[in-house]
Structure 1
Amino acid sequence: MQQDKQPDYRPVVFRDRSAGYAFLTRSTATSEQSIEWDDGNTYPVIDVEISSESHPYFTGKARSVDPEGRIARFERRYGEGD
């Protein structure tokens, strides 16, 4: 493997501004911005639009589809089968 062709794999903070949530992980992503983390070190920060803290599926605020309403609409439209 050629060392000079691999991107740097380093600690990066991903921040979800809508949920006020940030987490530190390792990544090859780059950023011009930086943030001071809880441990006193400064890391590059990448703002994301959605994370597990704000995603409707993970927060339990997902829309539930009403399958009974779909069936009723189908039966109204095409009549009940014999």
Structure 2
Amino acid sequence: MREGIHPEYRPVVFRDRAADYAFLTRSTMSDDRIGGKTIEWEDGHTYPVVDVEISDVSHPFYTGTARVLDTAGRVERFERRYGRPGKQS
């Protein structure tokens, strides 16, 4: 790798405030995007923290609370209203 062209890769805590969940991972997020916020992690070290609005813990798809749309009903309603494509009336 060339020196001086890659961003700093360091540990960062991502915190989902909606689900009261946080996880420690590595990221290239810069200090100006983080805003200088830090958090003391379970291991006793202080890490930069990024607040996110949604994560896998609170996302409806992953939690099983996603709504399934009735696409078959929509197709039937469209066909009743406008007829079937290619069919002459």
TM-score by length of 1: 0.85
Give the drift of 1:54. 1.2
Alignment counterpart, residue 51 of structure 1, candidates 55, 62, 72: 55
Give the drift of 1:2. 2.6
Give the drift of 1:79. 4.7
Stretches of structure 2 that go unaligned for 5 or more consecutive residues are none
CA distance in 2, matches of 1:78, 1:11: 57
Stretches of structure 1 that go unaligned for 5 or more consecutive residues are none
CA distance in 1, matches of 2:8, 2:46: 16
Q: 1:16 maps to what in 2?
A: 16
* Matched-pair identity in %: 63
- Aligned pair count reads 82
The amino acid across from 1:17 in the alignment is R
Give the drift of 1:35. 0.2
